[in-house]
C-alpha cells in the first residue's frame, strides 16, 4: 500500500514553508537584486547559477535546469520521495502531516506530536506532584525558579518501566507510532519507557512543538548522565538548537547568538535575562546548525564549558562557523566551570562582561594551546593544522585576514602560509563531478515561434499586474502551440491577482516540465517597450501557421510539376496566403 498525502496538507506545507529558509540550510546564498544566488548543489559549478526567488517561492538553476518549490528542492537534495519530502517540511514547520493508505487505513503523522505532547504533560505534572518534591527542591537549589521550569516545561520521569507506555496504550496509539516516537525501548522482554528516573527537558522545534527529550539522570551511579531521544521522523539532532523557539527574537534584537553546551546552562542564562542564548541538543556543532543560525545572525559567541573538552569543542565550532561566514568569538570560562556554575556563583553581569570581551577564535586557539612557546616541530604542526582550518573558509577577505593574523601572531611569513594552504588545497582537490547528459531530460525551446510563446508566458506570469492585463487583452490560448506552454498559459491567464507559483509548478508531473516551468517563472522580461514586444510575439505566432501552410503547398507544387500536372491553382493559393501574411493585424 502506498502512502499518500491529501492536497489540503500539501497546500498547507507549501504555504508555510519559506523557500529561502529551506534552501539556505543547504546552499550558501548571496542576495543579488530581488533574488538570491549560490553554487548549485545538484551539479558541479564554479560560478553561481542557482537562484532562489523569495517573492515567488521557487528556485531554479540556470546551469542544470533543476527547479521547483520547497518540496521539489527537498526531494532532489535528499533523494527522497514526494510524501517523505512533505513530511520533512511538515515537521520543520509544525504541520501535522496525515498519511492515508490506498486501502483506507490511516496513519497520522500527528500521532508523533500528540505522543510527545502527552509525555511532556505527564513529566511536567510529575515534577510538581508529591513524588516530585525532592527533585523540585534539587532544581530550586540549582537556582532554577518555578517560572523558568513552567516556561520550558521541565519535568520528571519516575523510576518506573511503563508509566508513559500505559498512558499511550490508553490512547490506543499504534505499535508503529510507539516505535517511531523514540520514547520507548523494544527488548526481548517487551516494550518499556526509554526515560526513567530522570529530569526531563523537552526539546522544541522552531514552531514551538515538542519533538524530543533530553533526560538528566538522578542516580549518580547511572553511567549515562544525559540521555537524549534517538533520531526520529520529528527529530534530527544536527538540525536542532535547544531553546531556539524562544531565543529567535532576542538573537535578532541583540545581533548575535550565545552558544552553550547544556540544558542547565541555557536555562540559567535565560532566567538571568541573557535570552539570546541557545544550546546544542546532545551533539557537536554541525554544518546544518551553522546554516540554520545564519538565518538569524552572522555573529556567534561560544560559551562552552571551561574544561579542556569544552575548549577544544569551542575551537572546532569557531572554525566551522568561519567557513559559513559567521563571526565567532569565544568566552574564556573559568577553569573547571560551566556557564551554569559561573552565573550561580558570580551573577550574570560577570558573564555578560566576558561575552562583550569574547576573543576571536584564532587568538583563543593560539592562547589556549600556548602555541607561541611550543617546540619547533609541534609549532609547525599547529600552524599546519590552523592553515588547514583557514583553507576551508570560502570568503576570501576573511581567509586573507586570518592568514595575516596567524603570520603576525606566530611570527612566520604570510607567503609561506599561503604556499602551505595552496599545497593542501591541491592535495584535497576532488575529481570534478561529470556533467550528466541532459538532452533526454530537457524540453528545448529554441525556435523563433517557441521563444515568442515563452516571452508571452513570462509576462503573463510576472509580478506586474498591468503588464499581465495588457498581454491578456491581446492574446488567445490558441496562439500557444507547445503543450507545456499552453497548459501553463491556461492556468495563469485567468489569474488577475497574485500567482501561487509553487502550486503552479506542482501541476507539472515530469522533471523536464518542472525544469522548463521554473525557468520561465524565474525569468524576467524587459518591459520598457512592452506593447511593441507583445505585438512582435503575437505577429510571429499568427504568421507561423500561415508560413507552415505556404511551405506545405510549395512542396505540393514541386510534386505537381515533377508529375507533369498543372500547379496553377496551388500557386494562386500561395499568393493569397502571402497577402494574408502581410495583412496580419494585432
For the chain, which residues make up each domain, given as ranges? Answer: 3-108, 109-235, 369-428, 442-586
5-33: average pLDDT: 83
Written in H, E and C, the secondary structure of 63-96 is: CCCCEECHHHHHHHHHCCCHHHHHHHHHHHCCCC
Q: 457-480: b or e for each residue (b if 16 or more CB lie within 10 Å)?
A: bbbbbbeeeebbebbbeebeeebb
- Pick the closest to residue 361 from 307, 406, 410 (CA basis): 406
Looking at every residue in the chain, the average pLDDT score rounds to: 85
For residue 109, what pLDDT is reported?
57
- Pick the closest to residue 22 from 84, 93, 122 (CA basis): 93
Give percent of the chain with pLDDT exceeding 70: 92
DSSP string, 107-159: EETHHHHHHHHHHHHHHHHHHTSGGGHHHHHHHHHTT--HHHHHHTT-EEE-S
311-327: average pLDDT: 91
Cell (9 digits) for 544:
507561423
Residue 102 has pLDDT above 70, yes or no: no
Computed on alpha carbons and rounded to an integer, the radius of gyration of the chain in Å comes to 31
- CATH of 442-586 among 1.10.238, 1.10.860, 2.60.40, 1.20.1440: 1.10.860
Looking at per-residue pLDDT, the higher value among 480 and 183 belongs to 183
* CATH architecture classification, 3-108: Alpha-Beta Complex (3.90)
Residue 368 has pLDDT above 70, yes or no: yes
User: For the domain 109-235, what is the CATH superfamily, name and number?
Assistant: DNA primase, catalytic core, N-terminal domain (3.90.980.10)
For residue 564, what pLDDT is reported?
83
- Integer Cα distance of 511 and 305 in angstroms: 49
Looking at per-residue pLDDT, the higher value among 143 and 9 belongs to 143
Residue 362 has pLDDT above 50, yes or no: yes
For residue 113, what pLDDT is reported?
85
Looking at per-residue pLDDT, the higher value among 189 and 39 belongs to 39
Is the four-CA dihedral 255, 261, 263, 269 of positive or negative sign?
negative
Cell (9 digits) for 237:
539532532
Which stretches of 331-436 are assigned E, i.e. beta strand?
359-360
Cell (9 digits) for 20:
529561502
For residue 461, what pLDDT is reported?
86
Residue 101 has pLDDT above 60, yes or no: no
Give percent of the chain with pLDDT exceeding 90: 33
Backbone angles phi, psi at 155, to 5 degrees: -140, -170
Please, which residues have CB within 8 angstroms of residue 89's CB and are 6 or more apart in sequence? 13, 16, 17, 22, 70, 71, 74, 95
For residue 162, what pLDDT is reported?
93
487-525: pLDDT as tens digits: 998 988 888 877 878 888 888 877 778 888 888 888 777
224-250: pLDDT as tens digits: 888 999 888 778 787 789 999 899 889
pTM above 0.75, yes or no: no
Amino acid at each position: 500500500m502506498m502512502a499518500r498525502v491529501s492536497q489540503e496538507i500539501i497546500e498547507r506545507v507549501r504555504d508555510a514553508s519559506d523557500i529561502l529558509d529551506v534552501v539556505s540550510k543547504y546552499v550558501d546564498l548571496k542576495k543579488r537584486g530581488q533574488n538570491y544566488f549560490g553554487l548549485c548543489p545538484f551539479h558541479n559549478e564554479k560560478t553561481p547559477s542557482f537562484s532562489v526567488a523569495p517573492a515567488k517561492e521557487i528556485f531554479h538553476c540556470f546551469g542544470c535546469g533543476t527547479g521547483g518549490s520547497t518540496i521539489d528542492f527537498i526531494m532532489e537534495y535528499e533523494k527522497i520521495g514526494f510524501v517523505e519530502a512533505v513530511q520533512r517540511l511538515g515537521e520543520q514547520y509544525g504541520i501535522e502531516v496525515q498519511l492515508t493508505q490506498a486501502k483506507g487505513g490511516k496513519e497520522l503523522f500527528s500521532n508523533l506530536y500528540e505522543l510527545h505532547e502527552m509525555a511532556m504533560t505527564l513529566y511536567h505534572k510529575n515534577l510538581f506532584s508529591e513524588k516530585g518534591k525532592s527533585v523540585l527542591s534539587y532544581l530550586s537549589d540549582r537556582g532554577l525558579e518555578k517560572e523558568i521550569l513552567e516556561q520550558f516545561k521541565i519535568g520528571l520521569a519516575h523510576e518506573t518501566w511503563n508509566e508513559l507506555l500505559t498512558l499511550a496504550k490508553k490512547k490506543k496509539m499504534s505499535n508503529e507510532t510507539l516505535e517511531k516516537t523514540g520514547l520507548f525501548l523494544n527488548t526481548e522482554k517487551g516494550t518499556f519507557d526509554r526515560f526513567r528516573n530522570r529530569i526531563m527537558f523537552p526539546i522544541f522545534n522552531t514552531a514551538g512543538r515538542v519533538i524530543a527529550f533530553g533526560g538528566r539522570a538522578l542516580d549518580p551511579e547511572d553511567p549515562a548522565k544525559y540521555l537524549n531521544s534517538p533520531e526520529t521522523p520529528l527529530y534530527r539532532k544536527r538540525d536542532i538548537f535547544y531553546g531556539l523557539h524562544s531565543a529567535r527574537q532576542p538573537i535578532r534584537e541583540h545581533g548575535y547568538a550565545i552558544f552553550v553546551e547544556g540544558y542547565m546552562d541555557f536555562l540559567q542564562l535565560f532566567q538571568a535575562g541573557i535570552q539570546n542564548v541557545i544550546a546544542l541538543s546532545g551533539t557537536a556543532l554541525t554544518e546544518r546548525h551553522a546554516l540554520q543560525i545564519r538565518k538569524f545572525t552572522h555573529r556567534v559567541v561560544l560559551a562552552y564549558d571551561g574544561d579542556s573538552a569544552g575548549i577544544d569543542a569551542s575551537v572546532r565550532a569557531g572554525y566551522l562557523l568561519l567557513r559559513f561566514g559567521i563571526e565567532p568569538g569565544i568566552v574564556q570560562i573559568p577553569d573547571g566551570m560551566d556557564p551554569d556554575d559561573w552565573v550561580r556563583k558570580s551573577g550574570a553581569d560577570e558573564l555578560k562582561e566576558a561575552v562583550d570581551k569574547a576573543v576571536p577564535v584564532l587568538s583563543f586557539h593560539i592562547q589556549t594551546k600556548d602555541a607561541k612557546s611550543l617546540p619547533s616541530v609541534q609549532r609547525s604542526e599547529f600552524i599546519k593544522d590552523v592553515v588547514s582550518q583557514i583553507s576551508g573558509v570560502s570568503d576570501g577577505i576573511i581567509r586573507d585576514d586570518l592568514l595575516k593574523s596567524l603570520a603576525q601572531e606566530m611570527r612566520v611569513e604570510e607567503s609561506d602560509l599561503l604556499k602551505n594552504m595552496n599545497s593542501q588545497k591541491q592535495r584535497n582537490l576532488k575529481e570534478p563531478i561529470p556533467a550528466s547528459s541532459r538532452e533526454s531530460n530537457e524540453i528545448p525551446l529554441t525556435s523563433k515561434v517557441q521563444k515568442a510563446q515563452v516571452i508571452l508566458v513570462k509576462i503573463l506570469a510576472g509580478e506586474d499586474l498591468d503588464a499581465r492585463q495588457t498581454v491578456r487583452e491581446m492574446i488567445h490560448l490558441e496562439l500557444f502551440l507547445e503543450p507545456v506552454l499552453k497548459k501553463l498559459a491556461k492556468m495563469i491567464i485567468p489569474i488577475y491577482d497574485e500567482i501561487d507559483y509553487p502550486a503552479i509548478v506542482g501541476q507539472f508531473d515530469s522533471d523536464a516540465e518542472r525544469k522548463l516551468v521554473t525557468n520561465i517563472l524565474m525569468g524576467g522580461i524587459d518591459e520598457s517597450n512592452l506593447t511593441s514586444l507583445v505585438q512582435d510575439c503575437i505577429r510571429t505566432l499568427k504568421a507561423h501557421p500561415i508560413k507552415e501552410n505556404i511551405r506545405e503547398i510549395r512542396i505540393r507544387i514541386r510534386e505537381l510539376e515533377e508529375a507533369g500536372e498543372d500547379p496553377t491553382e496551388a500557386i494562386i493559393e500561395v499568393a493569397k496566403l502571402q497577402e494574408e501574411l502581410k495583412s496580419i493585424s494585432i
